[in-house]
Amino acid sequence: MCGIAGVTGTDRDLLERMLTSIEHRGPDSWGIEVGADFSIGMRRLSIVDIEGGEQPLYSKESACCIVFNGELYNSPELRAELASKGHRFASDHSDTETILKAYEEWGTACVSRLTGMFAFAIADPARRELFIARDRLGIKPLYYRARGSKVAFASEIKALLQDPDVERAPDLDVLHRFLLYRVHDDREDTFFRGIKRLQPGHWMIVGPSGIRRIQRYWYPEVNTEFSGHLSDASYAEAFADLFTRVIRRHMISDVAVGVSLSGGLDSSGVSSVMAALMGTGADTHTRGTLHTFSALYPGQTIDESDYIHEVERYVGSVPHYAYPSVEEFWSEIDEWIWYQEEPTISSAPYAYYSVYRIAKGNVKVILSGNGGDELLAGYIPYFYAYLTSALSQHRIGSAVRETVRGWDLYSKYFAEVWRTRRPGAPDTLSMRSVLASSPSALAAFDYSASRNLNRRLADDVTRYSTPNLLRYEDKNSMAFSIESRVPFLDHELVEFIFALPIDQKIKRGWNRYVYRQAMKGRMPEKNRTRRSKIGFTNPEVGWMKDRADSILRIFADSRTAERGVFDPKRLVAEFDAWQAGKPGDGLIFWRALVAELWMRRFVDAPVALGHR
């Protein structure tokens, strides 16, 4: 696990600056290869094959070399297959070497053989090519900038900004889409003009004269049928077996492994299965002790202490707690934005940042429950897609039964929709009203949510929701040199869930139905049957109102006005109206604030090598 970077040509000085800027991703060691056509390097966080896993790693047979960020969970199986084909390995169990040999055997098709999270680059001198690939779900990041024959790539954007030729300017179309529609990371463009991300499930070939080809290699199939042919018990058993296998391989490590525990259904399940596997001898290098890391908010309505402590007792963990506070958040918001690199939809990811801070020094690897909600319909608004799916497939009885059985949850959602969207509803807060100019046509966002629940979930997992959550998780964890693993987004488990019928997601008044059934007897019943959902978050509305005066000064500042993104007078007036009780989404002001602070940090001044 590390950070990687590279450039076309032989600019060693630039490559060293790039790697220095992402030292937090890999403080254990670093390495550089300057070739005739490409220069590549890495920062290493030692997780697997600590003694023999230094990079760049070279092949004597092909003279290819690789830099790799991630973990390959099926490395033992692939090594055995490759050995049977005559490949010789210099290391005992380096997954980096496994990828390099897989490339030598199968070329670009090797990515379809890999199970894990990865972003890697292989310099192939015989072909005079650089082969760059990213995992199917985009768990590991990869950014690049191409201008003619000059191409640079890196695990973080700040590394690319070490090149003085790179323009520090916002992409206004991306910025406006974020401000208006709460979307980002859904396409290749970043908030930085000219800097792109290699999309999940894609690979790229770079030659000495520039990018030669970009291709998508993963096309998950989605079952659109309402019900299946197997019993609920059969689906649950298959899910439980696969989920256990996935957790087991995510525990592979030569260093200590822990888990981030929010008290929610997903992290509670991950923690419980991890503990059960440790009881059967799964090696996590924790000497039989499971460390859990949680954010607590004593006295706040979002505090999840009861559910967190329930899991701690169930698994017998050693608990560690972060207590995020409004004072702490505002004192280090500039530092947090430096690590995040791009604006965030809300301040909620700061809770994870606080948790990873306390994990540093205790473990090097943390598993989380990220991704479960989007895969298994964990959010209440997904119920609308369930209803449309049922009605379109003539399942009137199912639609009625689910509405009745889940009325305690769904009634609140539909009441809010009616309150804000009914004819004659009072005016609500509007981001468009505080912009200084009309966005261009390129900033338009046409989110036509599928009427089929499974397609809607697949869209969110692959494009609209999960990619930004993964960005937050990667940046938060790597800020403290922690490797974060997300077993729910193991591609084998994702493909299994995509293949399930719709009524295994919502049934008998429960969302995440198949998962709840599969976890009977495997996790605390209080957590398995909970109806509410909070998860890792902050009391962000209260935190904003607590610092209203500071926020108003930023909104009214001359720098904000001169930038030309917002109309400061209207922005201040709407913020005042919100504090006075005007209805609507108050987080439009967070988006305005974080966008302005982001531009001050990354656009107005050169990006330093460190956050200070």
pLDDT in the model for residue 366: 96
Confidence of residue 568 (pLDDT cuts 50, 70, 90): very high
Three-class secondary structure assignment of 240-252: HHHHHHHHHHHCC
311-345 exposure pattern, b = at least 16 Cβ within 10 A, e = fewer: bbebbebebbebebebeebbebbeebbbbbbbbbb
Are the CB atoms for 412 and 381 separated by under 8 Å?
A: no
Are the CB atoms for 42 and 19 separated by under 8 Å?
A: yes
Rounded CA gap, 366 and 477, in Å? 9
Q: Is the dihedral of CA 3, 70, 65, 130 positive or negative?
A: negative
Q: Is the pLDDT reported for residue 440 higher than 90?
A: no
CATH architecture of 232-378+452-528: 3-Layer(aba) Sandwich (3.40)
Confidence of residue 532 (pLDDT cuts 50, 70, 90): confident
pLDDT in the model for residue 595: 97
Mean pLDDT of the chain, nearest integer: 92
- pLDDT tens by residue, 358-401: 999 899 999 999 999 999 999 988 999 999 999 999 999 999 99
Taking residues 183-206, report their average pLDDT.
97
pLDDT in the model for residue 563: 92
Taking residues 95-118, report their average pLDDT.
96
Residue 345 main-chain phi, psi, to 5 deg? -65, -35
pLDDT in the model for residue 363: 93
Confidence of residue 166 (pLDDT cuts 50, 70, 90): very high
Q: Is the pLDDT reported for residue 74 higher than 90?
A: yes
- The pLDDT > 90 percentage for the chain reads 79
pLDDT in the model for residue 610: 60
Q: Is the pLDDT reported for residue 608 higher than 70?
A: no
* Lowest mean pLDDT, pick from 194-208, 251-265, 476-490: 251-265
Radius of gyration of the chain (CA): 24
In total, the chain counts a number of residues equal to 612
Rounded CA gap, 500 and 454, in Å? 9
82: left (phi over 0), alpha (psi -120 to 50) or beta: alpha
Taking residues 3-25, report their average pLDDT.
94
For residue 132, how far is the Cα from the chain centroid? 20
Taking residues 484-491, report their average pLDDT.
97
CATH architecture of 2-182+193-216: 4-Layer Sandwich (3.60)
506: tokens are 């919502």
Q: Which H or E element spans position 357?
A: helix 350-359
* Lowest mean pLDDT, pick from 46-60, 258-272, 302-316, 359-373: 46-60
40: tokens are 């590549």
Taking residues 438-449, report their average pLDDT.
78
Rounded CA gap, 516 and 594, in Å? 37
Confidence of residue 606 (pLDDT cuts 50, 70, 90): confident
pLDDT in the model for residue 7: 96
pTM of the entire structure?
0.95
Pairing label, strands 150-154, 65-72: unpaired
pLDDT in the model for residue 233: 98
Are the CB atoms for 528 and 516 separated by under 8 Å?
A: yes
Are the CB atoms for 375 and 488 separated by under 8 Å?
A: yes
305-315 vs 265-279: helix crossing angle, rounded to 10:
10
- How many other CB atoms are there within 10 angstroms of residue 291's CB atom? 19
ω into 56 cis (within 30 of 0): yes
pLDDT in the model for residue 254: 83
Q: Which residues contact 272 (CB under 8 A, 6 or more apart)?
A: 311, 314, 315, 519, 522, 523, 524
Taking residues 216-227, report their average pLDDT.
96
From the list 56, 71, 195, 180, the residue with the least C-alpha distance to 122 is 56
Cα 326–329–334 angle (5° rounding)? 145
Q: Is the pLDDT reported for residue 50 higher than 80?
A: no
pLDDT in the model for residue 46: 63
Q: Which residue has the tokens 């406006």?
A: 176
Rounded CA gap, 5 and 12, in Å? 11
Sorted by where each begins, the domain ranges of the chain are 2-182+193-216, 232-378+452-528, 547-612
- pLDDT tens by residue, 332-342: 999 999 999 99
Q: Is the pLDDT reported for residue 193 higher than 60?
A: yes
Taking residues 536-565, report their average pLDDT.
91
Highest mean pLDDT among 43-57, 149-163, 243-257: 149-163
Rounded CA gap, 333 and 249, in Å? 35
For residue 48, how far is the Cα from the chain centroid? 22
Q: Which residues contact 98 (CB under 8 A, 6 or more apart)?
A: 72, 75, 78, 79, 82, 89
26-44 exposure pattern, b = at least 16 Cβ within 10 A, e = fewer: bebebbbbebebbbbbbbb
* Burial environment of residue 20 by CB neighbours within 10 A (0 to 12, 13 to 18, 19 or more): middle
